[in-house]
Amino acid sequence: MSGYRAGPLVGYELPAGTEPVATARAAEAAGVDFLVLPDRPAAPDDRPGPPAALITASWLATRTERIGLVIEMPPAYTEPYNLARMLASLDHVSGGRSGWLASSAPDPAADANHRRAGVDPAVDRAARTAEYLPLLRDLWDTWEDGAFTHDKATMQFVDGDRVHTLNHEGPLLRVAGPLNVIRPPQGHPLVLADADDRGAAADADVLIGRSPGDDDRPWLWAARPDDVRRSGPDDADGAVGWLVRFDSAEECVAFTEAGLPTWTADRPAERPFLLRERFGLSRPANRLAHCVGARTGRTR
């Protein structure tokens, strides 16, 4: 833990129909700490769906300066290597502001879009997520800090002893590595999960939704704007802050203009830049740095 605490954090889950750049810039100017960008690989029947979270976050990374960018991408529909690479790239593009909201919640419509011969995303969903999250952390650590030496005198540009393969063969997933992106600025992008999510909560950095009891990890209340207004900025009841969920783009704009200043007025202007540090989390040590024989495929 880095120890940083300066009043409750505020995050927004962007509603469908929001103009991303305008909303992100307004939220950033008002003191919002991070945005959650929902993503669902199935079109809703009754309303417009959100834009692709990764594409939107990459776009916002170049059009905002400090706000954290958390993408939602269910493990059921992507492979660990691909997601680890995308999140690492987002962390580099944003300078250390990326995060991932992991979820193993069922989604029959999205499952139908990804079901194929021999693969059913609805099967072993929680078990896949539980195996998936540690693999992402290991993939981010396949490149140690300083692995690129760029030594022109010796013509050595990479220290092979600092590059690791995994060769993981688990019950549901097989991953070799190393990643084709160097270690992210945060070490590991911030991982969030619903506290009730049986598959994702065990290995998340931050929990969402309720007090986790004896769990000493940071957690966020998930709340509607009216709940936040009633509670006030000093009544987070043990949480590090709030994840505010809106019913409409108009509600998001109204809260930013009228409700949010109450929360952010007394906070210091200078806050940590890295998203992990906003939550009081330090940069994690490399989990594979003790390994030897990287080029021969030695695992952790």
Q: How many CA atoms lie within 13 A of 87 on its CB side?
A: 30
Query: How far apart, in whole angstroms, are the C-alpha atoms of residue 277 and residue 279?
Result: 5
Confidence of residue 17 (pLDDT cuts 50, 70, 90): confident
Q: Name the domain count of the chain.
A: 1
The DSSP secondary-structure symbol of 22 reads H
Residue 170 included in any domain: no
Query: How far apart, in whole angstroms, are the C-alpha atoms of residue 264 and residue 8?
Result: 9
β pairing state of 206-208 and 148-151: unpaired
How much is the CA Rg of the chain, to the nearest whole Å?
20
Residue 105 included in any domain: yes
pLDDT digits (tens, 9 = 90+) for 32-82: 999 999 987 766 666 666 788 999 999 999 999 999 999 999 898 899 999
pLDDT digits (tens, 9 = 90+) for 217-238: 676 777 666 665 555 545 556 6
Q: Residue 54's pLDDT is what?
A: 95
Q: Residue 216's pLDDT is what?
A: 63
For the entire predicted model, the pTM comes to 0.87
Residue 154 included in any domain: no
Residue 128 included in any domain: no
Query: How far apart, in whole angstroms, are the C-alpha atoms of residue 205 and residue 201?
Result: 9
Residue 31 included in any domain: yes
Query: How far apart, in whole angstroms, are the C-alpha atoms of residue 189 and residue 218?
Result: 15
The CA–CA distances, whole Å, from 93 to 55, 64, 65, 100, 291 equal 12, 11, 11, 15, 29
Residue 13 included in any domain: yes
CB neighbours of residue 46 within 10 Å: 4
Distance of CA 69 to the CA centre of its chain: 8
Which of 267, 241, 243, 266 is CA-nearest to residue 255?
243
Say if residue 300's pLDDT is above 50: no
Contact criterion met (CB below 8 Å) for 190 and 275: yes
Domain range for 14 is 9-119+181-280
Which of 198, 183, 179, 192 is CA-nearest to residue 71?
192
Say if residue 296's pLDDT is above 50: no
State the CATH number of the domain containing residue 260: 3.20.20.30
pLDDT digits (tens, 9 = 90+) for 141-192: 999 998 888 888 888 888 888 899 999 999 999 999 899 999 999 999 999 9
Q: Which residue has the higher pLDDT, 299 or 254?
A: 254
Query: How far apart, in whole angstroms, are the C-alpha atoms of residue 187 and residue 283?
Result: 6
Residue 138 included in any domain: no
Return the SS3 of 71.
Answer: strand
Contact criterion met (CB below 8 Å) for 220 and 208: yes
Residue 97 included in any domain: yes
Buried b (16+ CB within 10 A) or exposed e, 105-125: eebeebbeebeeeeeebeebb
Say if residue 5's pLDDT is above 70: no
Query: How far apart, in whole angstroms, are the C-alpha atoms of residue 250 and residue 150?
Result: 51
